[in-house]
Structure 1
Amino acid sequence: MSQPDARHAPLAQIPPGIACARDYELLCEHFIPAPTLAYLAGGAGHDRTRDANLAAFDDWTIWPRLLRDVTHGHTRLALAGAELSHPFLLAPVAFQKLVHPGAETETARAAAALGACLVASTLSSAPLEDIATANADGRRWFQLYFQPERAATQALARRAEAAGYEALVVTLDAAIRLPSLSALRAGFVMPADCAAGNLQTLAASAEAFPAAPPGQSRIFQGAMRAAPGWADLDWLRSETRLPVWVKGVLHPDDAADCRARGIAGVIVSNHGGRALDGAPASLAALPGVRAAVGADYPLLFDGGIRSGGDAFKALALGANAVLVGRLQVWALSVAGALGVAHVLKLLREELEACMAQAGCATLADIGPHCLAAAHEPLAAVRAIPPHPCGPAD
């Protein structure tokens, strides 16, 4: 099925009427063809996990506090040895040429301008070296997919090191990627000119997933034959001078294993609902993962951030910082680098406003005590004290 003509070209200015970060999600449908939007917005299967990611934020409310002095407030934090001005990282999102001709280089420029750490995808449209050039003054990490051959994986890691990336983020929850039903039903077809810029010289290796032997499962004995194991993760750590993070952690035991094996930090994520449909929402998994790794282990959150209030809740439940995925793509489609920079600015200001009203001057002040479960009686959080004059006659 052929793709329809593109809609509005990206703007060279911020459009009027943008009042909050999520407004870019409402506006992007005028800039992204419907089949492409279905591919980007959809999850795996019936979109249950994608929808659960968003709904999980409604399970919590934020306590407002009175008369707190927050005039010395800020959103600075130390993460992986770096000082960041705010806790918003740009998540790895593949094939950004689908929504803007400048693709990831536009996103990289915005990240540098707003002081956001950029996590560039193995499946980016632009080569990682071009992204690094556009992000020359910023902080950047490289998201790595294991390739079927270790030599190809090693080559990607070496290129990231040479281009000045500061960490490797290994995604481990997408060994099997089933088609998105939303994208299939919308007739999405990847355009011929939208390819993985990092894999052009590795194309043969990257496509070499073995077929199943006759009479055997194309999943277990086919696709999973190329899936990495713990030994591959240990090998990668020994082959790179960069700290290695793991993205795609939901189960507390997996998080604890990552820490025990010397992984620098983990990212609680379900791949935006694009891996296992029916997996827990990232926010629901976050407290258990934090409990498993302890208070001092670096822990990031990915999965459904649409506002500064969402970020506040993730920070309160144990994250050190959060990743912004789809929202950056919506902004990119509308106004390129300017749009991505604007959405980061809005998210930071929304977080600051939330912190101020919750009586939190710094990120360190945010914790579970700032939240109440939305579906529990508030009296259960703290018993109502007796009246000082005693019971009435």
Structure 2
Amino acid sequence: MTSADARRAAASVLPQGVWDFLEGGSGSEATLAANRAAFDDLFLVPRVLADVSGTRTAATVLGAPAAMPVGIAPMAYQRLFHPDGESAAAQAAETAGVPYVAGMLSTYALEEITAVCSRTWLQLYWLRDRVLLTDLIDRAEAAGCTALVLTVDVPRMARRLRDMRNAFTLPPDIVAANFPATATRSARRGEANTSAVMVHTSEAFDPTLTWNDVAWLRGQTELPLVLKGVLHPEDAARAAGLGVDAVVVSNHGGRQLDGAVPALNALAAVCAAVEGSTEVFLDGGVRGGTDVLKALALGATAVLTGRPVLWGLSADGQRGVERVLSLLRAELEDALALSGCADVSWAKGLTVVSGNVPLSSASVRRGPRW
């Protein structure tokens, strides 16, 4: 089995509009495609004669142990893909021993998710309704969430043409369970050439979010704070200076600025800018264990994976997600051993090279392990 098998299984069961909501990007989907192409263009230079008889995938992520340096990215409205939605995905994360980032627009309430997953992080968008935002922060602390993840690359939702052409709306039984019952009413009003979800987010999200607000949020909670959607090294350094615990190098899976740099191509510069003062995660285009290893070799602490989880969820609920995560761990263990890495900490010693550049002193990145 590969993640491509899970993708085919999901495509066979989902309605076309839901499939497009899952798979689509913004604009011409150039950045969506580039995220994957960046991984395909990067190659590892394995080392030999290292004892890899006991290869280990275990890692420390935000100061907590994880079975591998992988977490599940925040994704909205997961009951669109399976009746058990976020509950199934979170239970699968618990079984796999990895963090689960609960989307603010989840179809199960936060407390229902933390009840089945001890490694739950809550994703936040910056809301016009500050009372609701503050309430969510308080609920996260009370429910036992272990981090907050503020998404910073959605001052407005981009034009996602698949959803607009489909006049995509939420079915009546799909609700944002962390919001008041009437909050997602606009996401059910269909209109030609319009995404109702885009209309709803324009009403709910506040585009005035600035660094002052990040500083305010940092002062509101003692939970680890993660900023998701950082691509510029200067932004990463500024986040670290404000006491942010981690940044996620991300272009929102190709769903925001079409033409934005692939996340993988921005990773090394971000890692250099923060100089180890904050953890650096990556999402966008991660499909297999070798992708995880490439991100680690470029300096990432961990990666977040999104669409493959929804493929598994769509195909077979919790068991489908568990299979996707189990496969990812097996592939990572295999990639570590075959590249000469006894554990994930060795990955930063690997050399990486662009596929269209000859291997030379000018074209490689070397780490300190060997």
The reply to whether TM is greater than 0.5 is: yes
Deviation of 1:79 (Å) = 2.0
- The partner residue of 1:232 within 184, 205, 213 is 213
Q: Residue 248 of structure 2 aligns with which residue? A: 267
What aligned pairs does 1:299-314 form with structure 2 within 5 A after superposition? 299-314=280-295
Relative to 1, partners in 2 of residues 1:143 and 1:225: Cα closer, same or farther, differing over 3 Å?
A: closer
Deviations 1:149-187 (A, max 9, x none): 322211010011111001100001011102310222344
Q: Residue 28 of structure 2 aligns with which residue? A: 46
| Higher alpha-carbon Rg | 1
Identity of aligned residues (%): 41
Deviations 1:244-290 (A, max 9, x none): 11000000010000001111111111111111111110001101101
AA of the residue aligned to 1:98:
L
AA of the residue aligned to 1:183:
D
AA of the residue aligned to 1:106:
A
Q: Residue 337 of structure 1 aligns with which residue? A: 318
- The partner residue of 1:359 within 317, 340, 344 is 340
Q: Residue 118 of structure 1 aligns with which residue? A: 100
Q: Residue 89 of structure 2 aligns with which residue? A: 107
**How far apart, in 1, do the equivalents of 2:206 and 2:55 lie?**
51
Q: Residue 80 of structure 2 aligns with which residue? A: 98
1:159 aligns with 2:139: yes
Relative to 1, partners in 2 of residues 1:365 and 1:38: Cα closer, same or farther, differing over 3 Å?
A: same
RMSD across aligned positions (CA): 2.4
Secondary structure of 1:168 counterpart = strand
Relative to 1, partners in 2 of residues 1:368 and 1:274: Cα closer, same or farther, differing over 3 Å?
A: farther
Q: In the alignment, is the contact (CA less than 8 A) between 1:358 and 1:370 conserved in 2? A: no
* Range with greater deviation from structure 2 (115-124 or 57-66): 57-66
**How far apart, in 2, do the equivalents of 1:280 and 1:382 lie?**
20
Q: In the alignment, is the contact (CA less than 8 A) between 1:372 and 1:381 conserved in 2? A: no
* Range with greater deviation from structure 2 (78-87 or 41-50): 78-87
Q: In the alignment, is the contact (CA less than 8 A) between 1:50 and 1:274 conserved in 2? A: yes
Q: In the alignment, is the contact (CA less than 8 A) between 1:152 and 1:202 conserved in 2? A: no
**How far apart, in 2, do the equivalents of 1:321 and 1:311 lie?**
8
Q: In the alignment, is the contact (CA less than 8 A) between 1:286 and 1:318 conserved in 2? A: yes
AA of the residue aligned to 1:104:
E
AA of the residue aligned to 2:26:
A
What aligned pairs does 1:158-307 form with structure 2 within 5 A after superposition? 158-200=138-180, 203=183, 226-307=207-288
Relative to 1, partners in 2 of residues 1:149 and 1:224: Cα closer, same or farther, differing over 3 Å?
A: closer
Relative to 1, partners in 2 of residues 1:356 and 1:275: Cα closer, same or farther, differing over 3 Å?
A: same
Q: In the alignment, is the contact (CA less than 8 A) between 1:176 and 1:223 conserved in 2? A: no
Q: Residue 142 of structure 1 aligns with which residue? A: 122
Q: In the alignment, is the contact (CA less than 8 A) between 1:28 and 1:333 conserved in 2? A: yes
Secondary structure of 1:376 counterpart = coil
Relative to 1, partners in 2 of residues 1:292 and 1:379: Cα closer, same or farther, differing over 3 Å?
A: closer
Secondary structure of 2:353 counterpart = strand
Q: In the alignment, is the contact (CA less than 8 A) between 2:225 and 2:245 conserved in 1? A: yes
**How far apart, in 1, do the equivalents of 2:204 and 2:149 lie?**
22
Q: How many correspondences in the alignment? A: 351
**How far apart, in 1, do the equivalents of 2:116 and 2:62 lie?**
22
1:376 aligns with 2:357: yes
Deviation of 1:201 (Å) = 5.8
**What TM-score do you get using the length of structure 1 for normalisation?**
0.84
Secondary structure of 1:232 counterpart = helix
**How far apart, in 2, do the equivalents of 1:375 and 1:235 lie?**
45
Q: In the alignment, is the contact (CA less than 8 A) between 1:107 and 1:340 conserved in 2? A: yes
**How far apart, in 2, do the equivalents of 1:227 and 1:197 lie?**
25
**How far apart, in 2, do the equivalents of 1:90 and 1:363 lie?**
18
Deviations 1:128-168 (A, max 9, x none): 11111122xx3111111121132221101001111100110
Secondary structure of 2:303 counterpart = strand
Q: In the alignment, is the contact (CA less than 8 A) between 2:353 and 2:363 conserved in 1? A: no
Regions of 4+ moved over 6 Å: 222-225
**How far apart, in 1, do the equivalents of 2:5 and 2:340 lie?**
27
**What TM-score do you get using the length of structure 2 for normalisation?**
0.89
* Range with greater deviation from structure 2 (319-328 or 365-374): 365-374
Deviation of 1:224 (Å) = 8.8
Deviation of 1:68 (Å) = 2.1
Q: Residue 194 of structure 2 aligns with which residue? A: none
Secondary structure of 2:3 counterpart = coil
Secondary structure of 1:378 counterpart = coil
